[in-house]
Structure 1
Amino acid sequence: MTRPPKPPARADKVSLLRYLSLFRRDILSAQPARLYRAWMAEFRTPFFRSYLVNQPDLVKQVLKARPEDFPKSDRIGEGLRPLLGNSVFVTNGETWKRQRRIIDPAFEGGRLRHSFPAMLAAAESAVTRMAPRCGETVEVEAETSHAAADVIFRTLFSIPIEHEIAAQVFSEFRHYQRSQPILNLAAFVPLPRWMPRFFRRDTRASARTIRTLITSLTADRMAEIEAGTAPADLATKIMTTPDPETGETFSTAEMVDQVAIFFLAGHETSASALAWALYLMALYPDWQDRLAEEAQTLPFILPNNLPPEGRSAKPSPDFSCVSSLRLSRDVFREALRLYPPVPMMVREARCPERFRDRDVPKGSQIVLSPWHLHRHERLWDNPDGFDPGRFATENGKTCLREAYLPFSAGARVCPGAGFAMVEGPLLLSYLLRHFRFELSNRPAPVPVAHLTVRSDTGIWLRVRARSSGPGGPSSR
Structure 2
Amino acid sequence: MIPPKPAARPDRVSPWRYLRLFRQDILSAQPARLYRAWMAEFRTPFFRSYLVNHPALVDLVLKERPDDFPKSARVSEGLRPLLGESVFLTNGATWKRQRRIIDPAFDGGRLRETFPAMWDAGEAAAARLAARAGDTVEIEAETSHAAADVIFRTLFSIPIEDRIATRVFREFRAYQRSQPILNAAAFLRLPRWAPRGHRGGTRRAARAIRALLAELTAGRMQAIAAGEAPDDLATKIMTTCDPETGETFTEAEMVDQVAIFFLAGHETSASALAWALYLMAAFPDWQDKVAEEARAHLAPDFACVSRLRVARDVFRETLRLYPPVPMMVREATRPEHFRGRDVAPGAQIVLSPWHQHRHTRLWDDPDGFDPARWETEEGRASARVAYMPFSAGSRVCTGAGFAMMEGVLLLSRLLRDVRVELADRPPPVPVAHLTVRARDGIWLRVRRRD
Q: How would you bin the TM-score normalised by the shorter chain? A: over 0.9
Match for 1:424 among 376, 394, 407? Answer: 407
1:367 equivalent to 2:366? Answer no
Q: Which residue identity lines up with residue 171 of structure 1 in the other structure? A: R
Q: Which residue identity lines up with residue 278 of structure 1 in the other structure? A: L
Cα shift at 1:357: 1.3
1:87-98 alignment to 2 at 5 Å? 87-98=86-97
Tell me, yes or no, if the aligned pair for 2:298 and 2:412 is still in contact at 8 Å.
no
Query: Are residues 215 and 344 of structure 1, via their aligned partners in 2, closer, same or farther at CA, if it must alter by over 3 Å?
Result: same
Distance 1:460 1:47 in 2: 40
Aligned residues: 450
1:384 equivalent to 2:345? Answer no
Q: Which residue identity lines up with residue 139 of structure 2 in the other structure? A: V
Distance 1:382 1:350 in 2: 37
Cα shift at 1:139: 0.3
User: In structure 1, what is the equivalent of residue 290 of structure 2?
Assistant: 291
User: In structure 1, what is the equivalent of residue 185 of structure 2?
Assistant: 186
Cα shift at 1:57: 0.5
1:26-65 alignment to 2 at 5 Å? 26-65=25-64
Q: Which residue identity lines up with residue 285 of structure 2 in the other structure? A: D
Match for 1:404 among 370, 387, 393? Answer: 387
Distance 2:190 2:377 in 1: 47
User: In structure 1, what is the equivalent of residue 425 of structure 2?
Assistant: 442
Distance 2:124 2:270 in 1: 15
1:350 equivalent to 2:350? Answer no
User: In structure 2, what is the equivalent of residue 148 of structure 1?
Assistant: 147
User: In structure 2, what is the equivalent of residue 249 of structure 1?
Assistant: 248
Cα shift at 1:434: 0.5
Give the match's secondary structure for 2:131. helix
1:206 equivalent to 2:212? Answer no
User: In structure 1, what is the equivalent of residue 110 of structure 2?
Assistant: 111
Cα shift at 1:373: 0.4
Q: Which residue identity lines up with residue 361 of structure 1 in the other structure? A: A
Tell me, yes or no, if the aligned pair for 2:298 and 2:308 is still in contact at 8 Å.
no
Distance 1:299 1:86 in 2: 39
Distance 1:137 1:400 in 2: 35
Distance 1:60 1:435 in 2: 42
Q: Which residue identity lines up with residue 351 of structure 1 in the other structure? A: R
User: In structure 1, what is the equivalent of residue 397 of structure 2?
Assistant: 414
Query: Cα RMSD between the aligned structures?
Result: 0.6
User: In structure 1, what is the equivalent of residue 120 of structure 2?
Assistant: 121
User: In structure 2, what is the equivalent of residue 337 of structure 1?
Assistant: 320
User: In structure 2, what is the equivalent of residue 21 of structure 1?
Assistant: 20
Could you tell me the percent identity over the aligned residues? 74
TM-score normalised to the size of structure 1?
0.94
Cα shift at 1:21: 0.5
Distance 2:35 2:236 in 1: 42
User: In structure 2, what is the equivalent of residue 460 of structure 1?
Assistant: 443
Tell me, yes or no, if the aligned pair for 2:298 and 2:413 is still in contact at 8 Å.
no
Distance 1:15 1:190 in 2: 22
User: In structure 2, what is the equivalent of residue 221 of structure 1?
Assistant: 220
Give the match's secondary structure for 2:247. coil
Distance 1:406 1:9 in 2: 21
Give the match's secondary structure for 2:374. helix
User: In structure 2, what is the equivalent of residue 237 of structure 1?
Assistant: 236
Tell me, yes or no, if the aligned pair for 2:291 and 2:412 is still in contact at 8 Å.
yes
Q: Per-residue CA shift, 1:14-72, capped at 9, x if unaligned?
A: 00110000000000000000000000000011221100000000000000000001001
Distance 2:37 2:242 in 1: 42
Q: Per-residue CA shift, 1:404-450, capped at 9, x if unaligned?
A: 01000000000000000100000000000000000000110000000
Unmatched 5+ stretches in structure 1: 301-316, 468-476
Distance 1:398 1:82 in 2: 40
Cα shift at 1:395: 2.2
Tell me, yes or no, if the aligned pair for 2:126 and 2:413 is still in contact at 8 Å.
yes
Q: Which residue identity lines up with residue 179 of structure 1 in the other structure? A: S
Give the match's secondary structure for 1:218. helix
Structure 1 ranges of 4+ moved more than 6 A: none
Q: Per-residue CA shift, 1:102-136, capped at 9, x if unaligned?
A: 00000001100000000000000001111220000
Q: Which residue identity lines up with residue 421 of structure 1 in the other structure? A: M
Q: Which residue identity lines up with residue 241 of structure 2 in the other structure? A: P
Q: Which residue identity lines up with residue 434 of structure 1 in the other structure? A: D
Q: Which residue identity lines up with residue 374 of structure 2 in the other structure? A: F
Tell me, yes or no, if the aligned pair for 2:140 and 2:274 is still in contact at 8 Å.
yes
Give the match's secondary structure for 1:145. helix
Give the match's secondary structure for 1:297. helix
Give the match's secondary structure for 1:215. helix
Distance 1:259 1:427 in 2: 22
Cα shift at 1:299: 4.7
User: In structure 2, what is the equivalent of residue 84 of structure 1?
Assistant: 83
User: In structure 2, what is the equivalent of residue 323 of structure 1?
Assistant: 306
Distance 1:20 1:128 in 2: 44
1:132 equivalent to 2:115? Answer no
